[in-house]
Amino acid sequence: MAAELTQAELATSVGVTRQTVAAVEAGDYAPSVYLALAIARRLGSTVEDLFAAVPTPETNPTADPVATPKEASAATKGR
């Protein structure tokens, strides 16, 4: 889903820095529920759709429940 926004534009519209948006996008930072909702609303999507690729104990019983999205992604590579 392309919203035709730059990271800076998205960041400004949800009240964070461009670096925060970049970190969320890269999977280096798990946003708060409030930020995740704001990003989803701004992009015309849902939190579930935006963050569905992150394994959870419900979708992957071997997933680390406290892993960051980047750690979870790295842990599932090669499976």
- Using an 8 Å Cβ cutoff, are 12 and 19 in contact? no
46: tokens are: 């849902």
Buried b (16+ CB within 10 A) or exposed e, 36-60: bebbbeebeeebeebbeebbeeeee
Query: The pTM is what?
Result: 0.65
pLDDT digits (tens, 9 = 90+) for 39-68: 999 999 999 999 887 655 665 555 555 555
For the chain, percent helix, then strand, then coil, each to nearest 5?
A: 50, 0, 50
Q: Using the predicted structure, report yes or no on whether residue 13 has a pLDDT greater than 80.
A: yes
